[in-house]
Amino acid sequence: MKQPGFFDVEERLARLSGLGDQLEAFSRTVDFEVFRPDLELALAYSDGSKGGRPPFDPVLMFKILVIQTLNNLSDERTEYLINDRLSFMRFLGLGLSDRVPDAKTVWLCQKRLTQAGAIERLFDRFDATLRNAGYLPMSGQILDATLVAAPKQRNTNAEKADLRAGRIPEDWQDKPAKRSHKDRHARWTLKFTKAKRQDDGTIPSSDLAIPFFGYKSHVSIDRKFRFIRKWKTTDAAASDGARLREGLLDKTNTASSVWADTAYRSKANEDFMDKEGFVSKVHRKKPHLKPMPRHIQKSNAGKSVIRSRVEHVFADQKSQTGLFIRTVGITRATMRIGLANIVYNMRRFLFLERLNASA
């Protein structure tokens, strides 16, 4: 068997480029160095004065989290694939003989960033990059939320009641190992979906209600470029509408219109938007026990054409990156969803830059 050489690796990398390596496009388009100040502050690695093995570069570790988010990988699978894939190594700037962070190192990086609450600063840092590139929030904004699954918990009714009341169940008090594996923040809710046509061609009169456990990702995107500009993470049972008044509206958008579905229609929200200078384009609800007036039905249909654009964001996150919460607790869930939002904006940025280059 021929001994592989340097030029064999280069030839393989060139072939990967020809096949369309997404990570190579990331390296060309996204300046990951802009994240360095926030990463160094949050990770707070030692200066090496006490000896020991030097820490991995903070930007390298963040790029590993990007790989992990893009491919919905566990820490162990991430370690394996970095060692296995040339495209991953090239993106990280690693050679075949370089040391690769193990799963525990990746986990510790996530833990430090989570404890430092750094994900909001990292998101804002990339949002500033988008604005500097000319992608200002324009043409109004669209709000929506989606459910994000987490591993289901098997708790008794008494334990569920304690958790809903914000208490730790008595049986868990002296069992720290059990508490560490119990997600006390995720909640059950019902996910409603349209009933499918039956074999005989009929459609059931009522929709399906499917039990769902996990968290909820709330976002606000700008209508013009469809970047996520504001976001928030809650448990799955939290109301969509109330989040509108909790920092989801972007006051820097060049237009004042706000689109959202009927879950966001309330007097409190309408008063809030009017006071803050926003123009409500929120869907109107059907009158109770009365048919929907024709003019409202027509107005809602026109709003749906615009509002539906936010669904593409969630579809991209779930189909392309398999958004799922593997961790325990809302703090870590916020980190996971925040990373997914940054990666979505990066992928959207790549698409728009490629579109502009070909125009």
pLDDT (0 to 100) of residue 191 = 86
Per the listing, tokens 């840092």 go with 125
Taking domain 137-150+186-358, whether its CATH number is 3.30.420.10 is answered by: yes
pLDDT (0 to 100) of residue 286 = 87
pLDDT (0 to 100) of residue 64 = 97
pLDDT (0 to 100) of residue 77 = 95
pLDDT tens digits for range 64-96: 999 999 999 999 999 999 999 999 999 999 988
Tell me the C-alpha distance between 65 and 78, whole Å. Answer: 9
pLDDT (0 to 100) of residue 205 = 64
CA-based max dimension of the chain: 79
pLDDT tens digits for range 317-352: 998 888 999 889 999 999 999 999 999 999 999 999
The token pair at 253 is 């958008």
- H/E stretch holding 131 reads helix 119-132
For residues 211 and 198, the answer to whether their CB atoms sit within 8 Å is no
Residue of 155, 228, 209 whose CA lies nearest to 185: 155
What does the domain layout of the chain look like in residue ranges? 7-116, 137-150+186-358
pLDDT tens, per residue, the chain with 359 residues: 455 555 577 888 788 788 778 899 999 999 999 999 999 999 987 665 665 677 899 999 999 999 999 999 999 999 999 999 999 999 999 988 899 999 999 999 999 999 999 999 999 999 999 999 999 999 999 999 999 999 888 888 888 888 888 888 888 888 888 888 888 899 999 888 776 767 676 766 667 888 999 999 999 999 999 999 999 999 999 999 999 999 999 999 999 999 999 999 999 999 999 999 999 999 999 888 888 899 999 999 999 999 999 999 999 999 888 899 988 999 999 999 999 999 999 999 999 999 998 86
Per the listing, tokens 């750094």 go with 118
pLDDT (0 to 100) of residue 184 = 87
Tell me the C-alpha distance between 355 and 136, whole Å. Answer: 17
